[in-house]
Amino acid sequence: MIDKAILLEKMKTSPYKPMKARIIEAKMVTENEKFFKIELEGKINLSHEPGQFVMVSIFGFGEAPISVCSSPTDKGFFDLTVRNVGMLTNALHKLNEGDIVGIRGPFGRGFPVDNMFGYDIVIVAGGLGIVPLRSLIRYIMHNRNDFGDVQILLGCRTPREFLFKEETKEWMRRTEIKFKCTVDRADPDWKGNVGLVTSLIPGVDINPVKTYAVVVGPPVMYKFVILKLLEKAIPDHQIIVSLERRMRCGLGKCGHCQIEGIYVCQSGPVFNYAQLKDFRGECHEGECYEKKI
Amino acid sequence: MKVKYAILEKQDLYRWVEYLKIKARLYAPKKKENLFVFGPVKNADEICLDYIPTILPPKKYYFPQKEKLLEFSIKPFKSEKAIKEFEEYILFGVHTCDIAGIQCLDVVFREYPEDPNYLNRKEKMTIIGIECFKYCDKYANCTSMGNNVPRGGYDLMMVDLGQNFIIHINSEKGERLVVELDYIKEAKPQDLAKLENFRNEKKKMFREELNAPLPEVYKAFSEYESFHSEVWNDVGRRCVACGNCTAVCPTCYCFDIVDELELTLNDGLRYRIWNYCQMDDFAKVATGEDFRKGRNSRQRHRYYRKFKYPVDKYNRYFCIGCGRCSRTCMADIILIETVDSIVDPANAQNYKGLIKNMPEVCQITQDTGACDDR
Amino acid sequence: MKKRSKPKVAFFDFTDCEGCQLQITNMGDTLLELTELFDIVNFREIMSEKSDDYDIAVVEGSISTDNDIKRIKGIRERAKILVAFGSCATIAGVNGIKNRAPLELARQRVYGDKADTVNTIKAMPLDEVVKVDYYILNCPPYVPEIIAVFKSILIGKPYPLPNYAVCVECKMNENVCRYEKDEECMGPVTRAGCNSWCINNGNRCYACRGLVENPAADGAKDIFLKYGFKAEDILKHFTLYNDPQGEKKYDREFK
């Protein structure tokens, strides 16, 4: 907890100054995604909540918000998995073990793990959505007896895009979690399910009042998944999502990440469906099942 | 504080200005072509106290257009605050509406996590306001917003009583700028009576510019239908997304962060630069998803950030009524019209880009030489 | 410490006035500082040596003959990085006016009875023929932007062009809006990045940087009409520099 106090103090005195951090491991995990293990100077713990994000700086290039994909129970380092899509992530992909980056954060509100104690957990991940969810999955696995049944449903466009292949194999082997995956388009080697991730939901046994569903994926995915979860009668506030937005400051000031009156970098990126419904139309058309125009 | 109101004779104004210039850097409204801007004062006679809102609000002094945040070097990895010392400055002749704007940004930047750059600049600021006794022009809606009269937020407030200024002393910082000067005297009861008289006259002239009182405006903005109103499509169709309305707004504070390297390619500066929700790419993420598409929804966002969201969050309207956004809009998107149309869609029919007839107002928009008379 | 080998830069020109390259020579001391970072191996305006061995090609001018196409393709093959330099190279600029008339008519007008001996094709920006890695807009280029682009090239960072209007920068500079004085200006639809250079100096914006990606033609037309300009004048303003962008929405609006 001392580490957390140090970080909060830093945020207070110089919120724009990144901490020095070293990449201690870097590897390409798909054609377009690279995995980084990062150590803060002085080996202080990031002390984040699962689902929070950090601002990664490369001086001269700028900053970008990246979800932390390790659990706070992983001590001494944290993990990022980065898709090469923009200027900063492109520069980040060129870095390797031993290189230095700047880190600000952690920012935002993570998954409400304390509220989820004692509940069954259904995790629905689409594509890159598995990245922030990995922090939650690892957290749950490290505190396994705090939770009820745990099921993970993972969907990808093609088998080549699967992230964390070794870990998902491990999840498949383990008995205390159920893991299912599917691809939109199979290739000749694929022997698993084919279809959208929504197709996995009807087959899941759910006790709705005792279940938290956590959904992360591209914006278009949410409304279809949420619809299926509502059909299972899971209450609105027990359906949890994490939204992607443009973030520049992380401090609830710069305005880029705003959804109506809400700064996603401070009040999100994790929301429950009851909150999502309250956005009267400023969320993406894919993000809210009940959105009316 | 011993004195609450002081009197400055008009012939001593320039003398006082010279005195203030010694105390700190002095910024005041000055003429620029047919408009006004805040600028550093070289000669006291540059100052125009009879002015309509400046092109940019004094915001540029406490939240500059481009502000250094960090000084960094890549190798070795190092960064520190780019500005170590902030200088004392006086904003002279600030309208009450702009003072309300400063109060709005105070609330934003003081909220956790606080913004040190803003707070440092704010700490060094002294505000000497001036109360208006005539309307700027048809675009102002200061009375509806309750900002046509001083409501704190300043160190000194000047009121032009004709032959002299009566100065309200509102802080110790302000008091230090008037005490010990033999030409600034304590106000007498008859001066205060005269001020009272002026204020009463003013009440007769300043009327609420919006059709509905503020609580009704807020209520209208809270309704589901308003969010999807046809008004936004009309506004969006006319808007060219030039960003002027947001640039000139005293309560707009969005920014972007950019790095600039020196020619060594190793050292550089991280800046924040004004950025506007009216820009095409404002809410676009790296993957190309744009979360606020269309000029209509971006304009709507701007209005909601004045009349709805900050009221929910801070219990404060972020429109201060200066009228700058309407005055600067080439496409005649007029705030008063838009708000009236949201409150009652029937109004939309009457407007269509033509400003409604406001009560006869004193204008110095066109070059009347009001400034040169002084 | 061993100095890293400096990249070699070559300047080329096509259909243009060479004013953009003149801007480089106008840079003064900054040019000397820049040459610390790279070697100039080809630059007709300032040196007589020539070399075909270069890393970065900075190309001025539009493509307007078949031979130009061949030549630019050759440059593209030799260069690791190709920079389109100035309005003619990036948006075809004033050369694009030629495209408003049928090619044959244009040829006759310019070359008269020698028209048959001259090869000419429509005026094109470089990226219609080859891949362009960096764009330096403006007519002539704005020196701080030239420096910024070179820095980006040297650290391997893209130089994204601003996608907002010149008004944004003009307001930050607190200029009195030209419309305030009933004078025309292309600022509201023109891509920013020049720090409203012209307006700061009392001139109007000619849209030499090209239009923003999504110009609000509807709104812009209303504004022009409101200030008393005729539709054909508006089209002239829009096409002075931007004819090759004519397939954009504004063309349908004004034609």
Asked whether residue A126 falls in the same domain as residue A262, the answer is yes
pLDDT at A192 (0 to 100): 86
* Cross-chain Cβ contact A59/B270 below 8 Å: yes
CA pair distance C2, B346, nearest whole angstrom = 75
The CATH code for residues C8-155 is 3.40.50.700
Q: What is the CATH classification number for the domain harbouring A215?
A: 3.40.50.80
Judge residue B272's burial from the number of C-beta atoms within 10 Å of its C-beta, 0-12 exposed, 13-18 middle, 19 or more buried: buried
Are residues A231 and A256 both part of a single domain?
yes
Residue C161: its chain A contacts at CB < 8 A?
Answer: none
Strands A211-216 and A239-242: parallel
pLDDT at C254 over 70: no
Whether the predicted pLDDT of B48 surpasses 70: yes
- Looking at residue A57, its pLDDT comes to 96
C157 touches chain A (CB under 8 A): yes
Q: Is the pLDDT of residue B284 over 90?
A: no
What's the rounded Cα separation, in Å, for the pair C100 and A177?
A: 68
Would you say residue A283 lies in a domain? no
**Number of CB atoms found within 10 A of residue B266's CB:** 15
**Inter-residue contact B160 to B49 (CB < 8 Å):** yes
A91 lies in the same domain as A118: no
A190 and A84 fall within a common domain:
no
Bridge partner list, C216: none
Contact A246 B285 (CB under 8 A): yes
Q: Strands B267-274 and B255-261, how do they pair? A: antiparallel
pLDDT (tens digit, 9 = 90+) per residue, B153-187? 999 999 999 889 999 999 999 999 998 899 999 99
| Nearest-neighbour CA in chain A from B303: distance (Å) | 11
Question: Are the Cβ atoms of A91 and C158 closer than 8 angstroms?
Answer: no
Inform me whether the C-beta atom of residue A61 falls under 8 Å from chain C C-beta atoms.
yes
DSSP C160: P
Residue after which a domain boundary falls, among A50, A77, A107: A107
Average pLDDT over residues B256-277: 94
Give residue-wise pLDDT tens across range B135-145.
Answer: 888 899 999 99
For residue A41, give the CATH number of its domain.
2.40.30.10
* Judgement on whether residues A123 and A241 belong to the same structural domain of the protein: yes
Please check if A156 is assigned to a binding site.
Answer: no
Give burial (CB, 10 Å; 0-12/13-18/19+) of B215: exposed
Ordered alpha helix ranges (H), chain B: 13-23, 59-62, 96-110, 116-123, 142-145, 172-175, 189-205, 214-222, 224-227, 230-238, 244-247, 295-307, 309-314, 324-328, 335-343, 346-351
Kindly identify which residue of chain B lies nearest to residue A287, measuring between CA atoms. Answer: B291
Contact list, C174 vs chain B (CB under 8 Å): 32, 37, 55-56, 60
Amino acid at site C140? P
Q: How many CB atoms lie within 10 A of CB C42?
A: 18
Tell me, what's the pLDDT at C10?
A: 94
Residue B346, class by beta-carbon neighbours within 10 Å (0-12 exposed, 13-18 middle, 19+ buried)? exposed
Cα separation, B145 vs B104, whole angstroms: 13
| Residue A290 within any structural domain of the chain | no
Q: How many folded domains does chain A comprise?
A: 2
Cis? peptide before A18, omega within 30° of 0: no
| Alpha-carbon span A73 to A48, nearest angstrom | 9
Are A261 and B111 a contacting pair at CB < 8 A?
no
Q: What pLDDT is recorded for position C248?
A: 54
Q: How much is the mean pLDDT over chain C?
A: 88
Chain A residues within 8 A of B255 when measuring between CB atoms: 248-249, 253-255
Task: Answer yes or no: is pLDDT of A194 > 80.
Answer: yes
pLDDT exceeds cutoff 80 at C246: no
Confidence of residue B357 (pLDDT cuts 50, 70, 90): very low
- A283 annotated binding-site participant: no
pLDDT mean across residues, chain B: 89
* Closest chain A residue to the Cα of B275, Cα to Cα: A254
Best of C157, C163, C164 to mutate (most A CBs within 10 Å, chain A) = C157
Tell me if residue A154 falls in helix, strand or coil. strand
Radius of gyration for chain B, computed over Cα atoms and rounded to the nearest angstrom: 22
**pLDDT tens readout for residues C145-204:** 999 999 999 999 999 999 999 999 999 999 999 988 888 888 988 999 999 999 999 999
- Flag whether A291 is in a domain: no
Looking at the structure, do residues A122 and A265 belong to the same domain, yes or no?
yes
A102 is a domain residue? yes
Averaged pLDDT of chain A: 90
Q: Which of A7-21, B96-110, C52-66, C211-225 has the lowest mean pLDDT?
A: C211-225
Per-residue model confidence (pLDDT) at position A11: 79
Confidence check: pLDDT of C249 > 60: no
Q: Per the domain annotation, does A16 fall within a domain?
A: yes
Enclosing H/E stretch for A131 = helix A130-142
Q: Is the pLDDT of residue C44 over 90?
A: no
A95 in contact with chain C, both atoms CB, cutoff 8 A = no
Residue C224 pLDDT: 83
The pLDDT of residue A282:
72
pLDDT value of residue B360:
36
Q: How far apart are CA B344 and CA A158, in angstroms?
A: 52
What would the two tokens of residue C109 be?
């007008």
- Please, which residues 96-155 of chain C have a Cβ atom closer than 8 Å to chain B? 147-148, 151, 154-155
pLDDT band per the 50, 70, 90 thresholds, residue B373: very low
Q: How high is the pLDDT of residue B352?
A: 53
Strands, sheet with B156-160, edge to edge from the N-terminal-most edge strand: B35-40, B25-32, B89-94, B125-130, B156-160, B164-169, B5-9, B184-186
Please report the pLDDT score of residue C251 as a whole number. Answer: 53
Contact A14, B116 (CB under 8 A): yes
Q: Dihedral of the CA atoms A166, A171, A173, A175 (nearest 10)?
A: 160
User: Using one digit for the tens of pLDDT, what is the confidence trace for A37-54?
Assistant: 999 998 999 999 999 999
Q: In this structure, what is the dihedral angle of CA atoms B364, B368, B372, B373, given to the nearest 10 degrees? A: -90
Provide, rounded to the nearest whole percent, the portion of chain B with pLDDT above 70. 92
Ordered by start, the domain boundaries in chain C are: 8-155, 166-254
A288 is an annotated ligand-binding site residue: no
Q: Given this model, what pLDDT does residue C238 score? A: 80
Q: List, for residues A153-173, the tens digit of each pLDDT value.
A: 999 999 888 899 888 888 888
Tabulate helix, strand, coil % of chain C (nearest 5): 45, 10, 40
At B9-37, the pLDDT tens digits run 999 999 999 999 999 999 999 999 989 99
Contact B276 C176 (CB under 8 A): no
- Dist CA B168 CA B99 (whole Å): 15
ipTM of predicted assembly, 2 dp: 0.89
Is B361's pLDDT higher than 70?
Answer: no
Give the closest residue to A84 by CA, choosing from A29, A131, A37, A32.
Answer: A32
Q: What is the pLDDT of residue B353?
A: 47
Chain B residues whose CB is inside 8 A of the C186 CB are none
Which domain, by its residues, includes A23? 2-107
What amino acid is encoded at B51 in this protein? Answer: Y
- Residues A29, B372: Cα–Cα separation, whole Å: 71
User: Is residue A52 domain-shared with residue A124, that is, in the same domain?
Assistant: no
A237 and A219 in a single domain? The answer is: yes
Last residue of a domain, one of A72, A107, A142: A107
The predicted pLDDT at position C252 comes to 52
Question: By percentage, how much of chain B surpasses pLDDT 90?
Answer: 72
DSSP string, C41-98: EE-TTT-S---S--SEEEEESBB-SHHHHHHHHHHHHH-SEEEEESHHHHH-GGGGGG
Of A61-65, C11-15, C113-117, where does mean pLDDT reach its minimum? C113-117
What confidence category does residue B368 fall into, taking pLDDT thresholds of 50, 70 and 90? very low
Over residues A203-213, the mean pLDDT reads 91
Do A273 and A138 fall within a single domain? Answer: yes
Our measurement of the distance from residue C8's CA atom to the centroid of its chain's CA atoms, rounded to an integer in Å, reads 23
> For residue C3, what pLDDT is reported?
54
CA gap B241, B333 in Å, rounded: 11
Q: How confident is the model at residue B290 (pLDDT cuts 50, 70, 90)?
A: confident
Q: Angle at Cα B80 formed by Cα B76 and Cα B86, nearest 5°? A: 150
Tell me the pLDDT band of B95, cut-offs 50, 70 and 90.
very high
Q: Enumerate residues 6+ apart whose C-beta is below 8 A from C217.
A: C189, C248, C249, C250, C252, C253, C254
Say if residue B370's pLDDT is above 80.
Answer: no
- Taking the C-alpha atoms of residue B153 and residue A58, their distance in angstroms, rounded to an integer, is 40
- Looking at A107, A132, A160, which one is the last position of a domain? A107
User: What per-residue confidence (pLDDT) applies to B363?
Assistant: 36
Instruction: Give the C-alpha separation, A293 to A282, whole Å.
Output: 11
Q: Would you say how long chain A is, in residues?
A: 293
Residue C221's SS3 state is: helix
Reduced to 3 states, what is the DSSP secondary structure of residue A265? helix
Instruction: Tell me the pLDDT band of B299, cut-offs 50, 70 and 90.
Output: very high
Residue A60 has pLDDT above 70, yes or no: yes
